[in-house]
Amino acid sequence: MKFLDYLKLANKQNDSSGGLALKINLVTNFTDAVLVKILRGVLLSEGIAPEIHVVPYKQYHLHLKDQSSQLYKSQADITFIFFDINSYRRSAFTESMLHMKEILSDIREFAAHTSTPIVVSSFTSPYSGVYGNLFQQDPIFRLVQEGNDTLEVLASEIPHLYICDTNALVHQHGERNIRDFRGLYAFDVPFTNEFLLALALEWASFARARLGRVKKCLVLDLDNTLWGGVVGEIGPQGIAVGPDYPGIAFQNFQHALVALHDRGIILALNSKNNPGDIDEVFEKNPHMILKDHHFAAKRINWEDKAKNLIELAEELNIGLDSMVFLDDDVVNRELVRSLLPDVLVPELPREPELYVSTLFALNVFNQFSLTAEDKKKTELYRAEAERKSIQYSAQSLDEYITALGISIDLKINDISSIERLAQLTQKTNQFNLTTRRYSEKEILNFVEESNLVFSADVSDKFGDYGKTILAIIALGENATGDIDTFLMSCRVMGRHVEYGFILSVANELARRGVQRLSATFTRTLKNDPASGFLPSLGFTPIASVGDTIHFEVNIVDLADNAKQLCSGITINENKT
């Protein structure tokens, strides 16, 4: 879609109905009506229904300072902040420096009073084509550098503040293409439509991360995708990958894929080839950057690629909508698009030197943080393949669970893992009672307000699953508690981990005097796997509104019912 397409969509669908709801705060220091409209169009195109609160023109200073302002009261899911440096250029330098420092101080203060993500776009320098090299020592350039340095400090100190690299967008689109000087001087609209669209697309990636709509797995073809040529025709040593063109372009692409792997993106293969030829490439070609251990799952056969993708999703226990498929063959791309519309299938250019920029332009792998679980994700999924081997030989689910030797280590208010706990709320969609999304600060607030945040590290004889299950319990009066959040990673679904975990939670609540526990299930498009969880434990429905059902249970009954459903699972209630 192009700029006008997004604009038309925003004008056509102006009521924010349909799609996933998202409340947004927007703070700028220029006329931002076009930016608001284009951001709205981009989000609507992705199935997100935004409600955008815009700080009035030239009033950002007051609203950032005033805790009674709508900015503070809006309860936004995410806040975007972007200041144009040209506003500072028009005043005396000393005033500009003081003003910028004050703004950065205001952002820090605002962050202290909100717990949802704040995305601050970095400051961009004035267009050098206007000021020229003679002015590179102008204080305004130093002001930009110092402002961005301060932003880096803020981001390191405030866990829910993130930086959007605006300067990277400038480099991608070119200085000449981002500034609109007539718009700046006539209407205080300093940027071109091209740049505003690029910024909106970048912000949309943060919005998707906030809603847990990030892609988890990149599935790759091999011939003319990871290397040049067809290995079955020219042999493992004849493929184009190495120091010369075009091999170096494929090699650079592989470096980019390793970087994604190291950030927790699952890599998988889907190729029509002889497995022996592919094994020889990874074992013997010295120019390969990617190795066999980088891939969590593989389908190297002569089946159609849509069928292979379905099998890969089942093996990895992820949804098809978590997958991106890259293939140089247009026929395979169209086949997958038509049969599996949930899989993202981007166009891959003919020129391999454009593969890296095409991949990262997708902006679908962004997430707010990188955890220990992310760094070893391929290892976790490879262990899953070993578990599958005994599942097929087991005569029953109970036999399979017993053979796995699952162990649950309960943690309560585990502050050291708060980054992972927040990430679980942002990414877990299937086994999730309410799909409420929380930042690190919001999780910390639960703890500081004397609520209980339960989590567990899960393992079995094949290895660790990591921290994969979470429950947030709000303690009430009259010996009551309420399950605010209960979720479980898809990695441990189907193994009765949820029952062992809720048993340990119920035991701890009983020790603390809780007698009755309430819970809520809100149906979404994806959380059907969690729909029967509460009834299976004896929770009784007491009220319903729309897609939301409220339940209650006696804590003793809950423990008794859970105990019957988690045989074969070892529970270690370390609690620390």
Mean pLDDT across the stretch 213-225?
A: 96
Contact 366, 164 (CB under 8 A): no
- Cis status of the peptide bond prior to 246, with omega within 30 of 0: yes
Query: Token pair of 14, please?
Result: 């102006």
pLDDT at 93: 41
pLDDT of 419 above 70 = yes
Phi then psi for 30, rounded to 5 degrees?
A: -140, 175
Q: What is the structure's pLDDT at 329?
A: 96
Question: According to the model, what pLDDT value does residue 98 have?
Answer: 76
Q: What's the pLDDT score for residue 574?
A: 66
For residues 336 and 133, which has the higher predicted lDDT (pLDDT)? 336
Cα(292)–Cα(539) distance, integer angstroms: 47
Q: Which residues contact 305 (CB under 8 A, 6 or more apart)?
A: 221, 270, 272, 325, 327, 332, 335, 336
Q: Is residue 488's pLDDT more than 80? A: yes
pLDDT band at 92 (very low <50, low <70, confident <90, very high): very low
- β pairing state of 266-272 and 217-220: parallel
Mean pLDDT of 496-512: 97
pLDDT of residue 573: 78
* pLDDT value of residue 475: 95
Bin 386: left if φ > 0, else alpha if -120 < ψ < 50, else beta. alpha
- 3-state SS of 477-521? CCCEEEEEEEEECHHHCCCCHHHHHHHHHHHHHHHCCCCEEEEEE
The amino acid occupying position 181 is: F
302 CB neighbour count, 10 Å cutoff = 8
**The tokens 């009261």 sit on which residue?**
73
Highest-scoring range by mean pLDDT, 136-140, 209-213, 439-443, 520-524: 520-524
- At position 270, the amino acid (one-letter code) is N
Residue 176: the pLDDT is: 83
pLDDT of residue 478: 93
d(CA 272, CA 323) in angstroms, rounded, equals 19
What is the predicted pLDDT for the residue at 133? 56
Q: Say yes or no: do domains 3-210 and 217-361 share a fold.
A: yes
CB distance 293 to 262 below 8 Å: no
Q: Is the dihedral of CA 54, 58, 59, 62 positive or negative?
A: positive
| Coil/strand/helix, residue 312 | helix
How far are the Cα atoms of 486, 490, 553 from residue 483, in angstroms, in the given order?
A: 7, 20, 11
Over range 506-531, report the average pLDDT.
96
Q: Which of helix, strand or coil describes residue 476?
A: coil
User: Which element (helix H / strand E) includes 374?
Assistant: helix 372-375
φ, ψ for residue 301 (rounded to 5)?
A: -160, -165
Q: Where in the chain are the domains? A: 3-210, 217-361, 372-575
Cα angle 333, 337, 342 (rounded to 5 degrees) comes to 130
Write down the pTM of the prediction. Answer: 0.78
- pLDDT > 90 fraction of the chain, expressed in percent and rounded: 71
> What would the two tokens of residue 295 be?
């891939």
pLDDT for 434 beyond 50: yes
Using one digit for the tens of pLDDT, what is the confidence trace for 42-67? 999 999 999 999 999 889 989 999 99
Check if the beta carbon of residue 408 is closer than 8 Å to that of residue 458: yes
**Cα(384)–Cα(378) distance, rounded to whole angstroms?**
10
Q: Would the pLDDT of 252 be above 80? A: yes
Classify burial at 177, counting beta carbons within 10 Å of its beta carbon; exposed 0-12, middle 13-18, buried 19 or more.
middle
* Residue range 3-210, CATH number: 3.40.50.1110
How remote is the C-alpha of 291 from its chain's centroid? 26
* Pick among 3.40.50.300, 3.40.630.30, 1.10.3720.10, 3.30.300.30: CATH of 372-575: 3.40.630.30
When the pLDDT of each residue in the chain is averaged and rounded to a whole number, the result is 91
Percentage of the residues of the chain whose pLDDT score is greater than 70: 94
Residues 217-361: name the CATH superfamily: HAD superfamily/HAD-like (3.40.50.1000)
Residue 2 is which amino acid? K
